[in-house]
Amino acid sequence: MALNTLLATFLCTIVLPVLLFLVALKLWEVYMIRGRDPSCTSPLPPGSMGLPFIGETLQLILQRRKFLRMKRQKYGYIYRTHLFGNPTVRVTGADNVRQILLGENRLVSVQWPASVRTILGSDTLSNMHGAQHKTKKKAIMQAFSTEALELYIPVIQEEVQAAVEQWVAKDSCVLVYPEMKRLMFRIAMRILLGFEPEQIKTDEQQLVEAFEEMIKNLFSLPIDMPFSGLYRGLKARNFIHSKIEENIKKKVQESDKESKHRDALQQLIDSSKNNGEPFSMQAIKESATELLFGGHETTASTATSLVMFLGLNPEVVDRLRQELIEKEEQGMDLHSLNIESLEQLKYTGCVIKETLRINPPVPGGFRVALKTFELNGYQIPKGWNVIYSICDTHDVAEMFPNKEDFQPERFMTKPSGDSSRFQYIPFGGGSRMCVGKEFAKILLKIFLVEVVTKCHWTLLNGPPTMKTGPTVYPVDNLPTKFTNYVQNLN
């Protein structure tokens, strides 16, 4: 009798819940697969839909790049999953990505996860479509014109020089990633949003911490309740908005004054007026926050990767210095750079390109299928999310032999043929290619010039483990010792 009771207890407490869980998983998988379009004869991509409702979101958040590589190895270049509350197809490889990027507004449309849309807002460039997207993009692009970029260079040099001097002066190690975020944040605040240095100094610590919190929770489950990731992200976002609003009000009051250059934020304010639209403080705040996010988070990631790769490859640093010596001998003034002189630094540009190949700061982009279509023999059902992968596409690109090696010289010759176009996409592609890519290239070139001419550095922990959240970063923050570079290029 006691044995029967024990067996019944075991079945009820252990076996039955496990069986119910397995049945729930199977029903979930069957339910999601029923989402395929019966009018299309092609099968769904291979893959797994994960747990009910949350899918494989937690695995992605916890494992990031490891999870993605594991899935690619198991299922190939196109596979299905369930992320951030939606059935999703992840796409890798130049030919597949080409169809997604060139299919904007025909096959797919941009659609970031609900948490991203909620935190950043609906009035951001990344969440707009059609004519609205074109109008806002046109306004922002004026802030990245050649004339505007030329005016940014002295500010960038000033900020980078000050940061490098501080790193060299430190007796202890420098945690490169947090320092890069602070540096790029100051540059973005001054150049993109028009903040004065005194304003930044007052609010810098609080704003940097708020951005950290917002970015950390940008990709989270869409549950807005106390202590959830989305709740914390929104709270941080609201603080950032309050500070930006102060600057917007100041700009609106001073907008009639003539100035040689208007920053990106001013361009958005002016565009709103010129189009006869009612002024929307919320829309401008959301756009400014997106600019600040895009303008400093990605460049901080890449600048950190530059320090890492150069620390691991001293022969590349030597070649960089040799290029700068040669340019100085030809009359280039490294203390007063301009766009023309920066364009002459070909090898420096190749170092940046190679860094973006191995560690693209943004791992991919989000779309939603506007209709059911076929991709490489699989159907992509209408309404499903589509993620195109930048990092995986670089990993499998045939145009890059010895992919694991850091070889900037591979970019010294321009690849021929159209087939190479989508094998290298650090800035995305199509109509939604990153609007600030030229700004990023200039900023990173100036950073390289300053850091290789002013200092030596040693990575104290060796090669770091890299994670993505949402941009690529070293888990240990890249502790590094900087010292003066004694040779004078003059």
Task: List pLDDT tens digits, range 396-416.
Answer: 999 999 999 999 999 998 876
Q: Is the pLDDT of residue 37 over 60?
A: yes
Sheet holding 78-83: strands in order across?
Answer: 78-83, 86-91, 385-389, 364-369, 108-110
Tell me if 455 is assigned to a ligand binding site. Answer: no
More reliable by pLDDT, 287 or 318: 318
Q: Average of pLDDT values for 80-86?
A: 89
Q: What's domain 35-484's architecture?
A: Orthogonal Bundle (1.10)
pLDDT for position 444: 97
pLDDT for position 9: 67
Q: Please choose, from the candidates 166, 204, 212, 206, the residue with its C-alpha nearest in 3D space to the C-alpha of residue 188.
A: 204
Contact predicate 265/148, CB 8 Å:
no
Q: Decide: helix, strand or coil at residue 361.
A: coil
Torsion of CA 89, 90, 95, 97, to 10 degrees: 100
Q: Is the pLDDT of residue 25 over 60?
A: no
C-alpha dist (Å) from residue 427 to 339, 368, 409, 430, 440: 20, 19, 20, 10, 10
Contact predicate 482/307, CB 8 Å:
no
Which position has the token pair 């007063």? 336
Q: How confident is the model at residue 489 (pLDDT cuts 50, 70, 90)?
A: very low
Full-model pTM: 0.87
